[in-house]
Amino acid sequence: MNLNDIYAIEGEAETEDEYFEALQRAINSGSAWAFQGSYGRSMMDAIESGRCLLGKTDARDYWGNHIPSRTQVVNGTKGSLKFVTKANGAAYARRMAAL
């Protein structure tokens, strides 16, 4: 995650794809879970809607709650590659997984 990702998440993304790619990088970084509440809510909304995967490794949020990695959940459930594939197609899911 970098400064451009923060700007995109804060509302300066030029496209919807740019926004979700920034969120995916934030999720992957793990550290973004400790940011202000709106970041965590945005990341969880993206995961629950199938727009983003869980991170490559597990993380902890601001309150110390465990956030599992994409490989720690059953494939086909929220946050998994299969869930994102079903929601948005294989090409989209592969692109997000590669970030």
* pLDDT tens sequence across 40-79: 999 999 999 999 999 999 999 888 999 999 999 999 999 9
For the segment 24-53, the average pLDDT, to the nearest whole number, is 93
Q: Which residue has the higher pLDDT, 82 or 34?
A: 82
In the predicted model, is pLDDT for residue 36 greater than 80?
no
The strand ranges marked E within the chain are 59-60, 66-67
Phi, psi of 59 (to 5 degrees): -150, 175
SS (HEC) of 17-85: HHHHHHHHHHHHHCHHHHCCHHHHHHHHHHHHCCCCCCCCCCEECCCCCEECCCCCCCECECCCHHHHH
Range of the domain at 37: 3-98
Total domain count for the chain?
A: 1
Cα separation values, 62 from 33, 65, 80, Å: 6, 7, 23
